[in-house]
Structure 1
Amino acid sequence: GFILFYVGLVLRFTHATTDEEFFAARIVMAIDLEIWWLRSLSFILVVRFLGPHIVAIGKMLKDLAFFMCIIAIVMTGYGVASRAMVYYPNANRFNETGISIAFNGRDIFRQIAYPVYYLMYGEFGTELDDLDNNRDEAWSISTHVLLAVHMLFVNILLTNLLIAMFSKRFDQVYEDTQNIWHTQQYIFTREYYTRAPFFPPISLIYDMYYLCRLTFFNIRRVCFKKSADPRAKTFSKLKAIGFWWH
């Protein structure tokens, strides 16, 4: 979040002389704004009944990453095979549908990855229309069969597998709700204890000062055998317990 903020700030004042150049800064700042809104969910972690649910969402995202690897392999297989049978050998037949057969990165994602991805949500676009308009062709029949197998595997088998994984993960978190809540309290308190007392971008100055001070005292301790920084911040569990107790 902080890195994107400073990148967007630099782009805003160095590469924003025209509307076209300003789009880069606008995109970076918009993505950074989205991250900041999602980051605000961290305040819910200290709520007794909602905090564990945020932890469960984080663990589910790890399961989702594994699931997306499987989905990506399956979608790539169907996308390449179907386009190889339907569109690339019959480019002139589908000129009116806006199908591009250019072999570059943008068209590969636009014609293969995007349409096949939205098949998972039941959005077929012109997929079935192009096949139904040529239903007697061998490539149309083969692609129909391939599409049926793909939808059966992805929309039924893999989707239910994902739901089962999410249910198992939620049950694991629910069984350990109390410990998770106390752990998140400790992490949340420690994070804000060590954070700069100023808000961005002023906090960057404080962070640079603290980094220089930390480097200086580390060199002093290692090279000259002197004591560490006496004013360095220290944090203990007793402080966290006392804070939440009061």
Structure 2
Amino acid sequence: DLRFFLLILVVFILSFGVTYHANLYPNAPQQWSVLKDVLYYPYWQMYGELSLENIEGKEPSEDAGTCTKNETLWRLGKMERCPEKSFLAVMVMAAFLLLTNVLLLNLLIAMFSDTVKKVHDNSEKEWRFHRFSLVYEYYNKPFLFQPLNILVYIFWPFRRYFCKEDSFRKKLNEGDREALSKLQREAMEVYRRSGWTLEKDKIDKETQTTV
């Protein structure tokens, strides 16, 4: 679940980051630093660092001489480039915050809740499976330690030949299948009756509460 959620989150961050960068810094040169700038705004905005001055294209830093819009200067690397004013970038930020802080967070909670419910529903089945694996593992292990366990391996063919009945058999005969099928039907009927009883009690309680 977490891998699937992180994949969706990366898609959102990259898509909105590219939109931010294309509107705030149009015609930017193709450099590896662009990838850092693409990830910077959307990633930190998820934690509340909105950088509204840059998103809205305000220029207090240009007056202070820390950035410039002169293409010659920022292309030569002498000064940082100031962001452009873009109303679309503000709208994109509003949509990004809504999707990440509300929808994606609720999606993560829903995915984890569904996983916990599935684990809880299958917990008894998983326990029975692992218990069977443990019992079957020790059933096939020789009871003598090494090197005396070689005697057990020598004895096993005789036991297989003279002891036809295996108490740990995997295949059932016809009588065992009928008995198992009857047991399953009886268990299903008991479960169905208990469900009806619980539903009837629930309806009675709701009726009494309403009255």
Category of TM-score, reference length = shorter chain: 0.3 to 0.5
For normalisation by structure 2, the TM-score amounts to: 0.44
For normalisation by structure 1, the TM-score amounts to: 0.39
Which structure carries more relative contact order (alpha carbon 8 Å, separation 6+)?
Answer: 1
By percentage of residues, which structure has more helix? 1
- Look at both structures and tell me which one has the larger radius of gyration over its CA atoms: 2
